[in-house]
Amino acid sequence: MDLQQAVINALEDLKGQDIVCMDVTELSDVMDTLVIVTGTSNRHVKSLANNVVLDLKKAGEPPIGVEGLETGDWVLVDFGSIVVHVMLEQSRRFYDLEKLWSMEPAGRQEGGDEGTEPELN
């Protein structure tokens, strides 16, 4: 079983909601895959993250680091090539990582209203 599937299985075991896997190889030099999942409460978020850590340790893939377990509204589990974000619904909506990691930076847009000054009233 590959690392990504092991992460997904660990999240599904504890009923993680809206699991999204994003290939970010073109956007990042530090990771290949971003996994985002929603937990229903702080306790659920912590449990999901702990389950991922324990299951992957058993499979011989301990995490490089874990951040956010104290509060439980957003826990990041770093496995190097895969980074898992376990978030409460309101944190997930606010930070909108799916959009952040899929959009082209605004500074690279072509065209626009070059040479026109906004009117000041």
Q: How many domains does the chain have?
A: 1
pLDDT value, residue 30 = 73
* pLDDT band at residue 18 under the 50/70/90 scheme: very high
Q: Is position 29 within any domain?
A: yes
- Could you tell me which of 82, 78, 81 has the C-alpha nearest to residue 69? 78
Structural domain boundaries enclosing 24: 3-100
Q: Is position 13 within any domain?
A: yes
pLDDT value, residue 1 = 62
Specify the CATH number for the domain of residue 39.
3.30.460.10
- Could you tell me which of 17, 1, 2 has the C-alpha nearest to residue 82? 2
Task: Name the phi and psi angles at 107, rounded to 5.
Answer: -65, -15
Radius of gyration of the chain measured on its C-alpha atoms: 18
pLDDT value, residue 111 = 47
Q: Is position 47 within any domain?
A: yes
Strand pairing class (33-39; 82-88): parallel
Q: Is position 85 within any domain?
A: yes
Q: Is position 107 within any domain?
A: no
Look at 30 and 120; give whichever has higher pLDDT. 30
Q: What is the pLDDT of residues 20-46, one digit of tens each?
A: 998 877 777 777 889 999 999 999 999
Q: What is the pLDDT of residues 78-95, one digit of tens each?
A: 999 899 999 999 999 987
Three-state SS for 48? Answer: helix
CA–CA distance from 27 to each of 30, 32, 41, 96 (Å)?
A: 9, 9, 31, 16
Q: Is position 108 within any domain?
A: no
Q: Is position 24 within any domain?
A: yes
